[in-house]
Amino acid sequence: MYLGHFSLREAPFSITPDSAFFYPHESAQAALNTLLVALRGGEGFLKIVGEVGCGKTVLCRQLLKTLQGECVTAYIPNPDMGPDDLLMALALELNIKLLPPISRHSVLNALRDCLLAHAAEGRSVVVCIDEAQAIPLRTVESLRLLSNLETEKRKLLQLVLLGQPELDVKLARPEIRQLMQRITFSEYLGPMPADHVSVYLAHRLTTAATDEHTDVQVFEADAARAIARFSGGVPRLINVMAHKCMMLAYGENVHRISLAHVRLAAKDTPGVVPRLPWWKRLWRGRAAAPQLLLSETALRGPAGSKP
């Protein structure tokens, strides 16, 4: 592996969601700020929607890390389960001991008693549900029941839903409009701007470096720009391509990532933004010129005509 070659203590571009590598570009920081302000303000239902690979799980873990010590937190990574199973999973996350016979009613009562005990001690309870677009429609009712757990003054449970755009489609269905109406704050998590990619690469390398003397400027400027272009700013694609680039550089026994490395990595990475060959780009430019001329002629009208 290339860790020793680049003086790194761990892999800098792993796609495992590690909050230590969280990079607060505009969209990610805006989403985190919205969540923190809303949760600290006592809001009950929150939603984060983002495209595949844009860092929803890393954002979620950064949120839980930030809230550590402020409140009780629970994390459900896979909500693709039945209504009763979701309640049981939440009870398990909150370390609630359930006594038989176990039913939905008994689980809800146990959850309510647990939440009331935390509220009496001045602790908020925040539950993050990742991949929320996978929640079956029949399970949405369990979320609505959880949202009903409240006192006259405050919500006993705060829920954060994180999912792909399909989550919005699901929540727009008429039969679950009651849940949609309870979501008070929503934020979109998008790709990072192209001019942030070089900083992001250096940030990941700095986090993984063995010490402060490690060279973290290993990506040449044109290589970083190419990664930004090919990845479309999607962090997961950036990580995959950067990892392959470092492997190529290690294989060549060099310490700089060049544009040639990026192009090779892009060819081997599904999902990157394809770059047209130069002759196709030239052909498209020439093909567009007559169309532009025709548009201008149409605007001017026939020769000799008055405007």
Task: Tell me what the mean pLDDT of segment 81-95 comes to.
Answer: 92
The model's confidence at residue 103, banded by pLDDT at 50, 70 and 90, is confident
Question: Could you give phi then psi for residue 177, rounded to 5 degrees?
Answer: -65, -25
Answer for the pair 79, 86: CB distance below 8 angstroms, yes or no: yes
Q: How far apart, in whole angstroms, are the C-alpha atoms of residue 176 and residue 171?
A: 6
Query: 3-state class of 114 per DSSP?
Result: helix
Task: Tell me what the mean pLDDT of segment 38-47 comes to.
Answer: 91
- H-helix or E-strand containing 202? helix 197-208
Answer for the pair 194, 233: CB distance below 8 angstroms, yes or no: yes
pTM of the model: 0.84
The model's confidence at residue 142, banded by pLDDT at 50, 70 and 90, is confident
Domains within the chain, CATH numbers bracketed: 19-189 (3.40.50.300), 194-267 (no CATH)
Answer for the pair 72, 127: CB distance below 8 angstroms, yes or no: no
* Cβ-based burial of 51 (10 A; exposed 0-12, middle 13-18, buried ≥19): middle
pLDDT reported for residue 189: 95
Task: Tell me what the mean pLDDT of segment 81-85 comes to.
Answer: 91
The neighbouring-strand residues paired with 218 are none
Cis peptide bond prior to 79, omega within 30° of 0: no
Q: How far apart, in whole angstroms, are the C-alpha atoms of residue 158 and residue 136?
A: 20
Q: How far apart, in whole angstroms, are the C-alpha atoms of residue 163 and residue 262?
A: 30
The model's confidence at residue 300, banded by pLDDT at 50, 70 and 90, is low
pLDDT reported for residue 307: 45
Task: Tell me what the mean pLDDT of segment 237-263 comes to.
Answer: 96
- How does the average pLDDT of the chain come out, rounded? 88
Task: Tell me what the mean pLDDT of segment 5-9 comes to.
Answer: 94
Percentage of the chain beyond pLDDT 90 is 67
pLDDT in tens, 174-208: 888 878 888 889 999 999 999 999 999 999 999 99
Contacts of 1 (CB under 8 A, 6+ apart): 11, 250
CB pairs under 8 A, 24+ apart, for 270-273?
A: 271/53, 271/234, 271/237, 272/230, 272/231, 272/232, 272/237, 272/241, 273/229, 273/230, 273/231, 273/232
Q: Which two tokens mark 77?
A: 């990574």
Task: Tell me what the mean pLDDT of segment 69-98 comes to.
Answer: 92
Task: Tell me what the mean pLDDT of segment 252-260 comes to.
Answer: 96
| Distance (Å) of CA 98 to CA 77, 92, 106, 115, 126 | 22, 9, 8, 15, 20
Supply the DSSP symbol for 240: H
pLDDT reported for residue 279: 52
pLDDT in tens, 203-234: 999 999 999 889 999 999 999 999 999 999 99
Question: Could you give phi then psi for residue 78, rounded to 5 degrees?
Answer: -135, 95
Residue, of 302 and 71, whose pLDDT is higher: 71
Percentage of the chain beyond pLDDT 70 is 89
Q: How far apart, in whole angstroms, are the C-alpha atoms of residue 220 and residue 218?
A: 6
Task: Name the CA radius of gyration of the chain, rounded.
Answer: 25
pLDDT in tens, 144-155: 888 888 777 788
The model's confidence at residue 53, banded by pLDDT at 50, 70 and 90, is very high
Task: Tell me what the mean pLDDT of segment 107-122 comes to.
Answer: 91
Q: How far apart, in whole angstroms, are the C-alpha atoms of residue 259 and residue 100?
A: 63
